[in-house]
Amino acid sequence: MEKTVRDRLLGALKGLEEEELERFKRKLSETPLPEGFCHIPWERLQKADPLDLCDLLLSNYYPYALLVAAQVLEAVNLKREAQRLLSVTGIGRQPLLSLEPHFIEQHQEQLIQRTALVEGVLDLLYGIVLDDEQHERISSLETNPEKMRELYKLVPSWDPSCKDQLYEALRKTNRFLIADLEGR
């Protein structure tokens, strides 16, 4: 199974020297953010080691965490690290403020409530995005909304290709729902 977004972000942060990590935290506290997002309080950033910082980025800036991190790396003259972070994700260089959330993120609540064939979705994701334990745990839930809600708990750690896999699985198994959400 390929590395998750969290693995890649953590790897980039762990690769920074102590001085670079401090510069990163200072710049992060003042970098422009997408509308609706707030800066992480300095008190939390100041104490954060790479693992804590990774979790702060993911929890505060999802789905833009990688882009925020790459923007900050570039701003503190760590351009090679920024390019490496973006290149391994498949995101490429995109302006942070204009990036749209993935389809599955835009329509999360509708997909949780309206997906009828969740087992088919899980089967298509099994072995590609979901491991044995995840597949079994989600499948054991009683209702489709519960299964989808549990599946969505994994999404913050996924890269764009994993999200694309979920979209394709939904499109194959629930094509009328996807067509409705796409406005077709």
The correct answer on CATH 1.10.3720.10 for the domain covering 5-98 is no
b/e per residue 23-36 (b: at least 16 CB within 10 A): bbbebbeebebeee
More confident residue, 6 or 23: 23
Listed in sequence order, the residues at least 6 apart from 124 whose beta carbon sits closer than 8 Å to its beta carbon are 165, 168, 169, 172, 173
List, for residues 87-98, the tens digit of each pLDDT value.
Answer: 765 554 444 444
Query: What percent of the chain is predicted at pLDDT more than 90?
Result: 58
Asked if omega into 145 is within 30° of 0 (cis), the reply is no
Count of residues in the chain: 184
Q: What does each C-alpha distance from 109 to 35, 113, 115, 146 come to in angstroms?
A: 21, 6, 10, 12
Query: Taking the domain 103-181, which CATH number applies?
Result: 1.10.533.10
What DSSP line would sit under 42-59, residue for residue? HHHHHH--HHHHHHHHHH
Rounded CA-CA distance 40/20 in Å is: 18
Q: Which helix (H) or strand (E) holds 34?
A: none
| Domain boundary assignment for the chain | 5-98, 103-181
Rounded CA-CA distance 88/4 in Å is: 11
More confident residue, 38 or 150: 150
Per-residue pLDDT at 99 exceeds 70: no
